[in-house]
Each structure stands twice: as structure tokens, then as C-alpha cells.
Structure 1
Amino acid sequence: MTAALNSDIEFREVAKRYGAVTAVSGINLSIPPAAFVALLGPSGCGKTTCLRMIAGFEQPSEGQVLIRGKDMAGTPPYRRPVNMVFQQYALFPHLDVENNVAYGLRQQRPRLSAREIRLRAGEALAMVQLAGYGHRKVHELSGGQQQRVALARALVNKPAVLLLDEPLAALDKKLRTDMQIELQNLQRELGITFVLVTHDQEEALSMSDFVCVMNRGSIVQIGQPNEVYHEPADLFVADFVGKTNLLPGKVSGRADGLVEVRLANGSTISARSRSNLAKGDDTSVSLRPEALRLEAPGRGTLQGVVRNRIFLGATVEYVIEVPVLGTLMATADHQFVQGNLFEPGEPVAIGFASGAPLAFPGIKENGTKQRETRNVEIIS
């Protein structure tokens, strides 16, 4: 998909600079209608700048931002078919819930009747399960209820695109999980495009249809959550998205389509690779904690000693010290019942399924070698 008419949002060679600082550099991005997209990355990667350029709070230094095929250059925020939910909700403390939600409706021209405003505000509150809360004050609501009011206020104008700037950051873990589910359900019911900015990998992976990983002002990878997690484009994505173990080594050869990597401790493992690695190249091998299998000493590929055991209910996490390689993390599920748990200080062998290791150019400790960033688009 390349045509703007098939996109709710499109970036064309967009750059944003603040003096000598480049916040966003040469981004091409196409987001289809009714998609839930997460912009994910560390602080300073450019994700919030992108969101603000869609909203109209910032203008590109170069390139174009289009919404539903129309170039937004010079279009003020209140003339754009978007609404935004801010991290701190930005509710008016002197207004009750209904008037907070109705505020945007009262700014519309031509003016809506008082009856129409009340009706639409009530519908928006019912949409977020707050029917009957219209006359309450903001300070009388819980954090989750305030977040719903902010959502209702953003949705009441029926935007083409809803922008979410880390809206769940202030909520506790249980409430955050509940709101993640509600946001997913709401987006599917409304059928409009949601763009979420977050630095929380779990939030991005669990909520969105597509995850757009950013670093240093550029898009590093975009894809469905399972693709980004299981097939990271480079060492940055593998290290940033979720947990992983990175094992430094050198390429010693190739066999059966796999890269043979000699690790720093002298052992050799076979790994998949998306890069053209040659013999002698420095490499880091990524192994997800859940891919590791703990066995009796002497049976696996690597040998180590359990240093910590962390019980998490459904899973158990182990921190294992491996000579020369350092500490690795392994995650075990229900099959490791209480009687089969490894104890701190106990020697273990570490194995893994064929195809689980993934090799990348560069060694993390010495600075990741990044591939050239590609222009990307979401294919619906």
C-alpha cells in the first residue's frame, strides 16, 4: 500500500529539527484505516514528536504529513480530524464530567444545540462505561475513571484518528491491564485508527495490531507484535523489545543455512541470522529467556549455576551464572512444579530448541552496529 488515499496517516520523508538537534529524520510511514499502531522506543527516539506532528502541535522541518490523503501543512490542530488523549489527561477541574466531555462540541462551528451537545456527551460517556457520571466533579473520580473521561472527550467529536500519548502511565498495574483491554475493545467497536506512543514494550505488544519501533529519530522496524518479538530486525530491537540474553562471539562458519558462532567461552552454537555475516565477524546471539531449557548438569549446550530464583506465579525466572559469558535469565512455566524447582547454588545445564538463537552483527557491550534504517509502511 503506497497511495495516500489508502492510508489514514502518511509520512513522506518527514524530518523535524530543533536548531542543531534532529528529533526525527527521513521517516516514511503509511498507516491503514482502522489500525491500532504503537510507536515504541526509548526516551528521545522521536515517537512523541511524530505524534505531535500528526496532531498539529509541531510542523515538519521537511516532508509531508497527510491525514486521509490531505497534506496537513499549515492546518492548525483544531482543524484536523484527530483528537488526543494526554498522559496527564488535561481535564478541567472546575467543570463537571459532562462539561469536560462537551467542551470540544461547544467549540464547533456551526454551533450545536444544547440538546445535541447533551445527547452526544451522554453517548460518549456511555461508550466508556460512565453513564450517570455526568454531574460528578473530576476530583471525585478514580484515576481509571478520569482516564475514561479523557477518552470520552477525545471521542465525542468523532475523529478519524485518536492519538494516545502514554495514557496509561499514571495507572497502577492491575488498572493499566484492565484499561488496555478496554482500549482494544473500544478501538474495534469504533473502527477508527488509534496511534499509541509508549516506552512500555508489554503495553505495545499486547494492545496494538502493529508495532513501530523507533530509535534515534528513525524507524528501525515495523510489524505485527509477534513478528517484532520473534524476528527482530537488528540487535537494538532484540535488546529493547522484551527480555533477551545476548551472548558475544565470532562467526566461525556456516552449515545447513545457519551461522556457526564460537562464543567467548569456547563453545559453539548454531543460530539463524537476517544479516550477511561472514567468518570472523563479531556477533551477538539473542536467546529469549523462555527459549532456554534447564536440565541436569552435563546434558545441555552451556553449563552454569543458579544464582537467583524468582517466583512469579505462572512462571519462575532463574538467573544463571555461566563462566565467561556472565549471567543468563531463563523462564520456566507450569511444568516446573514445586518439587522440580532448581535451587540457588545448584549446577544446571542450559539447552534450547534448534532455531531459537538469532545472531546479529556487532557486540552489545562494545556498541551495537545498526543496519541502515529502511523506509517502511504498514500493509493491511
Structure 2
Amino acid sequence: MTSAANDIEFRSVSKRYGAVTAVSDINLAVPKGAFVALLGPSGCGKTTCLRMIGGFEHPSEGEVFVGGATMNGVPAYRRPVNMVFQQYALFPHFDVESNVAYGLKQLRPRLAKAEIARRVGEALEMVRLGGYATRRIHELSGGQQQRVALARALVNKPRVLLLDEPLAALDKKLRTAMQFELQSLQRELGITFVLVTHDQEEALSMSDLVCVMNAGQIRQLASPKEIYDNPADLFVADFVGKTNRLAAVVDPASGSIKLANGKTLATTRARAMNAGAATVALRPEVIRLARASAANAALLEGTVTHRIFLGSSAEYSISVPGLGDLLVTAERHGTEDSDLVEPGESVAMNFDPGQAHIFQA
């Protein structure tokens, strides 16, 4: 039996294509009404998982449940699921109303024309396209086409909505606007959304839960904050957001780590680890930057080699003897004397060792 609190469950699911294993022994539970992002690099298995939920692929092993019922062997058109594809898959020779009504017209027994018109109107109002019913697809902007695809997917009132990188074709400004639209829509409807993306920012900003995948397996399933602040392993720390990787040796007896440049840092995290080689993952924004002349008791010192100006902040590449290049993100007023440091300047860096994540080699 599946949990009544879950809309989607994978139980020991694997998917193979000949000798290639796309998904390996995955167990996953998606709560009702959640907005879940499947995040990972190309080939990690996220799209395969989405397609197994939608019925476009079937597991080689294990079971997929939707709404508490097993979907093994159930064709896509019989599942309480709809999908919005990356390229929207709209019919260019239909107007907006006909595109949205298409799925309703395939239902058996047939719906009355008045019922179809009513539901199409509701769906278009839902995505804020109430006055666009007679428009042709080529007359719409990219964002409007995306909303037509959403209306077509939602008009059948699915239990689960699947989104296969639906914002990938949009420019950055429109993509940001549509992220807000999708969040608002999901909250209004209260249905489960499953989004596939390789965009970390998109996954973190839109979803309640992020499922980070790699090589056909789930590496971590947690809230966006938990994923970012407490990555389960070095892959998650590396893939989600930016991070500096520093070679170190753990000494649990003294509760410290020794970096490759000889600097020793005290951290309680070391006491719970085994002695030996490790990698320290340090987010660029936790490092405080100051000009070397203004620094006191700096943990690290180095020389700025590159700077990328980002408006409200700046990213610096800093060469640190014995450690290599570190990436540091500083707010415009995060440095002393001036809000920008120039390439070639010597700088000092401090950070709370407790904010560094340590992973055994």
C-alpha cells in the first residue's frame, strides 16, 4: 500500500535501455500538493523519471504509483497526469481556444460543447489569457504560448502536472516572470507539480522540494534551503550553487582540519568524522573580503586575479598560495575603504569554519 499523503511514489524503480541503466533502484515519495524539482546534469535520469510518471516510459523493475494506484502497464492517456513539454507542442493551425479544448474533445463519453467552452474559458482565465481565445499561436509571445500550453495541460484537471524544462526557450527576464506565474498558479490550484530542470536557480527559487540526481540515482531530496545549506555529499555541494573545494586533513581528536597550505581551522564538525584526507566545500558568499592592509588575523591571504562586476555585488578569483584559486562573492559594500577591489591587489579573507562543509575522501 502507498501512503495516502503522497501523489507520486517510486518503489525500487530501475530503467534500462539495453546495456545502459538510465535510472537505478530509485525510491521516491512526492507529497500531495508539492512543487518538486528534479535537478541534475544531462543524462542523470531526471527526464526518464518524469516520463515514467507520465506513462511515456515504463520501468524495467519496480513500481510507479500515482494517487495511490500502480501505473505499471497503464498507458499515458489513462493516467491522471498531464505534461507541458519544453517546446510546448502547440498546434500552429489552431487558435488558442482549439488548442486548449483539444484534450477535452478526446474524452469519452463526449462532453457537451457548452461544457467544453466553459472549461476552456476557466483554464484561460486561470493562466491570465481570458481575452486570447481567438488568437492564432503565431500571434502570441513566447510567454503567452507557454501559458496556452499550461492551460491545455490543466483543463483536464490532472492530479499531477509534469513540466519538462518548460522555461528553457525563454529569455532571462521572461523566464523569471514565468517562474513567479508558475509558483502562483501551483499555490492557487493546490495540485502536485513536478519540474525537470538543469537550472539550479530555477529549481531553488520555484520548488518546495528539490531532488538532486546524478548517474541515475537520487543524491539528496530536501527543501531548497536544506539542499544549499547542508548538501548531503560533495556532488550536491558542487552542483547546486557555487563552491570552493579545498584539500584538507581531518583531526577528530583536536576537532580541527588542516588545509593544504598548512592553515589549521577549528570546527566541531571534525570531531564526528574519521581521521584522514577530506575535501572542504566553502561557499563564495561566506568569505569576508578585505584589503590586506586593513585585515587583522586573516585566515587566508591572496591576490586578486580576476573580477566580474555584477552590479550589487562582484565575484573575485583570488590566488591563494598552497590552495590555488578561490572564488569570493562580495557585496558592493562588503570591503573596507572602497566597494571594489582591483585585480593585482592583495586581500585578506576570513570566514566562520563552522560554515565550511567537510566530506571524507
Distance 1:274 1:350 in 2: 21
2:259 aligns to what?
Answer: 263
Quote how far apart the aligned CAs of 1:113 are: 1.1
Distance 1:209 1:274 in 2: 31
Quote how far apart the aligned CAs of 1:340 are: 3.2
Contact 2:265 2:353 (8 Å CA) reproduced: no
Moved more, 165-174 or 265-274: 265-274
Deviations 1:67-96 (A, max 9, x none): 111001111101000000001101111111
1:376 aligns to what?
Answer: none
Determine if the alignment matches structure 1 residue 250 to structure 2 residue 249.
Answer: yes
Q: Residue 83 of structure 1: SS of its match in structure 2?
A: strand
> Which amino acid in 2 is paired with 1:341?
L
Contact 2:12 2:63 (8 Å CA) reproduced: yes
Contact 1:272 1:358 (8 Å CA) reproduced: no
Distance 1:254 1:134 in 2: 70
Equivalent residue for 1:313, pick from 303, 311, 314: 311
Distance 1:189 1:121 in 2: 17
Determine if the alignment matches structure 1 residue 277 to structure 2 residue 277.
Answer: no
Distance 2:210 2:325 in 1: 29
Equivalent residue for 1:304, pick from 298, 302, 310: 302
Distance 1:190 1:336 in 2: 42
Distance 1:77 1:272 in 2: 51
Distance 1:103 1:114 in 2: 12
Quote how far apart the aligned CAs of 1:339 are: 2.9
Contact 1:308 1:320 (8 Å CA) reproduced: yes
Q: Residue 355 of structure 1: SS of its match in structure 2?
A: helix
Deviations 1:2-30 (A, max 9, x none): 94322100111111111111111111111
2:125 aligns to what?
Answer: 126
> Which amino acid in 2 is paired with 1:162?
L
Q: Residue 178 of structure 1: SS of its match in structure 2?
A: helix
Aligned residue pairs, count: 357
Moved more, 5-14 or 326-335: 326-335
> Which amino acid in 2 is paired with 1:315?
S
> Which amino acid in 2 is paired with 1:287?
L
Determine if the alignment matches structure 1 residue 331 to structure 2 residue 326.
Answer: no
Matches within 5 A, 1:285-296: 285-296=280-291
Distance 1:347 1:79 in 2: 65
Quote how far apart the aligned CAs of 1:273 are: 4.4
Matches within 5 A, 1:90-105: 90-105=89-104
2:230 aligns to what?
Answer: 231
Contact 1:309 1:343 (8 Å CA) reproduced: yes
- Unpaired segments of 5 or more residues in structure 2? none
> Which amino acid in 2 is paired with 1:53?
M
Moved more, 89-98 or 313-322: 313-322
Contact 1:289 1:330 (8 Å CA) reproduced: yes
Deviations 1:278-298 (A, max 9, x none): 22x221101101100012326
1:171 aligns to what?
Answer: 170
2:208 aligns to what?
Answer: 209
Quote how far apart the aligned CAs of 1:248 are: 1.0
Instruction: Please report the TM-score for the alignment, with normalisation by the length of structure 1.
Output: 0.91
Contact 1:125 1:152 (8 Å CA) reproduced: yes
- Detail structure 1 runs of 4+ shifted over 6 Å in the superposition: none
Distance 1:183 1:355 in 2: 36
Deviations 1:92-111 (A, max 9, x none): 11111110011000001110
2:193 aligns to what?
Answer: 194
1:61 aligns to what?
Answer: 60
Quote how far apart the aligned CAs of 1:276 are: 5.6
